[in-house]
Structure 1
Amino acid sequence: MSVIQQSFQVQFSYNIQFTKNLFAPENSLLIDFLRNYGSPTFKKKILFLIDEGVAEAHPYLQDAIRNYFATQDAIELASDILVLPGGEIVKNQPSYFDQVLEAIDTYGIDRHSFVAAIGGGAFLDMTGYASAVAHRGVKHIRIPTTVLSQNDSGVGVKNGINYIGKKNFLGTFAPPVAVFNDSNFLTTLNDRDWRSGIAEAVKVALIKDLKFFTWLEEHAFALANRDEDAMYQHIFRCAELHVQHISSGDPFESGSARPLDFGHWAAHKLEYLTNFSIRHGEAVAIGIALDSVYSHLKGDLTENDLQRIITLLQNLGFELYHPALAENDKINLWKGLNEFREHLGGQLTITLLKALGKGEEVHEIDFELVKQAVDYLASKVCVF
């Protein structure tokens, strides 16, 4: 038998830039990046996609983009800017994915050109997936506009859409070529969206960084009350922890371990059970509370540590129980656990807590204890 063995590595590198008023004429950050990226011999084009909610909150944005590119000739701006819905609807309806692909085709966006998406996490998920599959990959720029996308989903390497009733059933691992976090977009968020993304910071602090968890405790009321400096510090540290994790081990998740999904197995199912009436971050906060209670009932987390977690989440303004958790004698939640295992493939791997700042991977879940954890939350905390 003859064998040809092949092995090669592909280097990925991208920066997460923090700025304000990205499209102000005096801010050359984006145009400098575009000019300097890749070969200067290629004529580069850029297509902008905007989350509808962002377009409504920032009515000047499309004119600002056009004015920004009008004074230079290094990059050709596509004549139309595509505005599509944000939120889970853009991941649930295939027609929006099709519209992005059609725009990439119409405006000749090739592998040396760029698709720049401005929006929240779900919007970036869908547009990143479309960019990754068009021509087997066009250059994707993320401009996150929510707390959750600036500190978590927008700085990572995953893209996807929902399919056959399952979250992120279709998707790719395809890093962006750059991320631009513009703090100006956060100023128009409503209180729920401002708060929602902070759940991801609590998550990563609990499994990786006790010092950051303590910082969140000390600044919880400032964050909840829209202190911009506290929000900036929290986003930077949370994003930093996320990218450090991605680069340190298994960036494309070839194994079954996903520690950055602590609290997410229940959250993903809860989003569907509530027909996405609760935000992703709100569902994650509930999932964190549920898995923290489970860790306590399992004997791995002290009562005091559990109360610190519950208190922090409540001080941030989260409600930590939803009746959908208990529907159908909690069988729906059990189905969510199985769906999470199927999504990972192979062995069930869930991250739980051994202590504050220390996660642990487990491969078995005692669902009777999960039921007890649901009942604990139902009796102890606020209800949606």
Structure 2
Amino acid sequence: MPLTRVIEQTVPVTFRYAVQFTHGLFGPENGVLRDTLAGKGGESVKVLCVLDAGVGEAFPDLARQIGAYFARHADAMQLVAPPLVVPGGERVKGDTRHVGQVQDAIHAHGIDRHSYVIVVGGGAVIDMVGFAAGTAHRGVRLVRVPTTVLAQNDSGVGVKNSVNAYGKKNWLGTFAPPYAVLNDLDFLAALEERDWLSGLAEAVKVALLKDASFFTWLEENAPALVARDLEAMEYAVYRCAELHLAHIAGSGDPFEMGSSRPLDFGHWAAHKLESLTSYALRHGEAVAVGLALDCTYAALKGMLPEADWRRVLDLLLALRLPVYVPELGTSAQDPADPSSVLSGLNEFREHLGGRLTIPLLTHIGRATEVHEMDFGLLRRTVGLLQDLHTHPTRGTSWLSTKAPAC
């Protein structure tokens, strides 16, 4: 009898889910939701709905519309209770009692693995409800109805769910693909200015990584996007979601088993800035600052041509996105100090595991990865962005001649 025996097994798993774009999802004649949930064999399925309080305030008749929709289609689906309302915004991810609230409802109403949880709201609420659903019965079917630009074009279409813990963003979470994502573009019209614009940072990000022609389209359509042109925003959301989904499906690492995470370009600083501002800074705003930081660093390092760097900064500013916030700090920052944005590099490495891996641009539409960052050059980068923020009329044409030594 050998001392060691090994049985190895490979279990292939394929996930398939649709991201649909529509208007008036809960209108009585819109069949998208019914067709998505209708059970095979004609049986009626049970559904628990969780609603973002902020969305409910912006659309006071929404809960009634949801109830009326299910009443209209009662032969196919049963709403087990009026929508469960939870707080909106990042605070919902900072208190695990909200996870327990959703799980209590799943338990009380007998939501099983052949029933559905529908979450209607922004990215933070979708993250929290996804975590609750993903850990109930080892995962019940989740249908996401994102209501913000950021959630429709990025966070709502992926395979991750999370809440915050230990003062760190997304420390607790699951990889659990949704059953479906239903983007009702009518929700975007009610967004506050900050939420309308900040979600575009993710479109800039994925364009910089994946699609130079989409970046050019964003440059050409920045005035329309700022002016709240819904047709322009619908295309930006659709193309951004399409590029994110293509990467998730085609990168070979959808569940992030390695240490590379290209779609988190600009996010090592963004996540830290969010926590340093107690989440007063929108995620998209923090990503914009992170993009400005990493692109300026790459330009100062000689990796990114100055003309491309100038286009990146010009687009962020044209979209009225920030490129600097006071929490980004000064040259006195110590990477070992948890209050320093530079400490976000180690937190980012810890979150991924393995080697530190940071995507940096070499041209618009092309990126490479580095495994270390020069703290001195990062401080110099911060100084340059601070100077640009303080004197915006100087423009962005002075990278080679005006790079403050810090």
Into which bin does the TM-score normalised by the smaller protein fall? Answer: over 0.9
**Does the aligned pair in 2 maintain the 1:42–1:112 contact within 8 Å?**
no
1:342 to 2:344 alignment = no
State the alpha-carbon separation in 1 of the partners of residues 235 and 127 from structure 2.
24
Partner of 1:14: 17
Paired letter, 1:337:
L
1:207 to 2:209 alignment = yes
Shift of 1:330: 2.2
State the alpha-carbon separation in 1 of the partners of residues 322 and 246 from structure 2.
30
State the alpha-carbon separation in 1 of the partners of residues 317 and 201 from structure 2.
11
State the alpha-carbon separation in 1 of the partners of residues 344 and 331 from structure 2.
13
Shift of 1:327: 5.6
Gap change, CA 1:292 and 1:328, over 3 Å in 2: closer
Give the one of 195, 199, 218 matched to 2:197.
Answer: 195
State the alpha-carbon separation in 1 of the partners of residues 15 and 41 from structure 2.
20
> After the TM superposition, which residues 259-278 of structure 1 pair with which residues of structure 2 at under 5 Å, given as runs?
259-278=262-281
Deviations 1:104-155 (A, max 9, x none): 1111110000000000111100100100000000000000000000000000
State the alpha-carbon separation in 2 of the partners of residues 40 and 59 from structure 1.
36
Partner of 1:222: 224
Deviations 1:206-244 (A, max 9, x none): 011100000000001111110000000111100000000
Gap change, CA 1:320 and 1:75, over 3 Å in 2: same
Which is higher, the Rg of structure 1 or of structure 2? 2
Gap change, CA 1:127 and 1:327, over 3 Å in 2: farther
State the alpha-carbon separation in 2 of the partners of residues 176 and 329 from structure 1.
44
Paired letter, 2:128:
M
Give the one of 79, 92, 114 matched to 1:112.
Answer: 114
Shift of 1:5: 1.6
Shift of 1:6: 1.4
Shift of 1:41: 7.2
Partner of 2:35: 32
Counterpart secondary structure, 2:174: strand
State the alpha-carbon separation in 2 of the partners of residues 382 and 182 from structure 1.
39
Partner of 1:372: 380
Deviations 1:319-358 (A, max 9, x none): 2111111168223112111100000001000000011110
Counterpart secondary structure, 2:156: helix
**Does the aligned pair in 2 maintain the 1:321–1:382 contact within 8 Å?**
no
Partner of 1:175: 177
Counterpart secondary structure, 2:280: coil
State the alpha-carbon separation in 2 of the partners of residues 95 and 337 from structure 1.
30
Counterpart secondary structure, 1:235: helix
**Does the aligned pair in 1 maintain the 2:330–2:382 contact within 8 Å?**
no
> After the TM superposition, which residues 219-298 of structure 1 pair with which residues of structure 2 at under 5 Å, given as runs?
219-249=221-251, 250-298=253-301
Gap change, CA 1:340 and 1:45, over 3 Å in 2: same
State the alpha-carbon separation in 2 of the partners of residues 374 and 231 from structure 1.
31
Counterpart secondary structure, 1:18: strand
- 5+ residue gaps, structure 1: none
Paired letter, 1:126:
M
Shift of 1:285: 0.3
> After the TM superposition, which residues 27-66 of structure 1 pair with which residues of structure 2 at under 5 Å, given as runs?
27-36=30-39, 39-40=40-41, 43-66=44-67
TM score, norm. by length of structure 1: 0.97
Partner of 1:163: 165
State the alpha-carbon separation in 2 of the partners of residues 283 and 2 from structure 1.
51
Shift of 1:78: 1.2
Q: Percent identity?
A: 55
Paired letter, 2:53:
E
Paired letter, 1:341:
R
Moved over 4 A (4+): none
Deviations 1:13-50 (A, max 9, x none): 000000001000110110011115xx437652100001
1:361 to 2:364 alignment = no
State the alpha-carbon separation in 1 of the partners of residues 118 and 330 from structure 2.
41
**Does the aligned pair in 2 maintain the 1:320–1:382 contact within 8 Å?**
no
Deviations 1:242-284 (A, max 9, x none): 0000000211011010100001000000011111111000000
Counterpart secondary structure, 1:381: helix
Shift of 1:382: 5.6
Counterpart secondary structure, 2:60: coil
Gap change, CA 1:316 and 1:60, over 3 Å in 2: same
**Does the aligned pair in 2 maintain the 1:199–1:281 contact within 8 Å?**
yes
Higher mean alpha-carbon deviation, 259-268 vs 320-329, is at: 320-329
- 5+ residue gaps, structure 2: 335-339, 392-406
Paired letter, 1:363:
H
Partner of 1:74: 76
Counterpart secondary structure, 1:314: helix
Alignment length (residue pairs): 382
Paired letter, 1:193:
D
Shift of 1:305: 1.0
RMSD value over aligned CA atoms?
Answer: 1.4
State the alpha-carbon separation in 2 of the partners of residues 211 and 205 from structure 1.
8
Shift of 1:59: 0.7
Shift of 1:381: 2.4
State the alpha-carbon separation in 2 of the partners of residues 103 and 214 from structure 1.
46
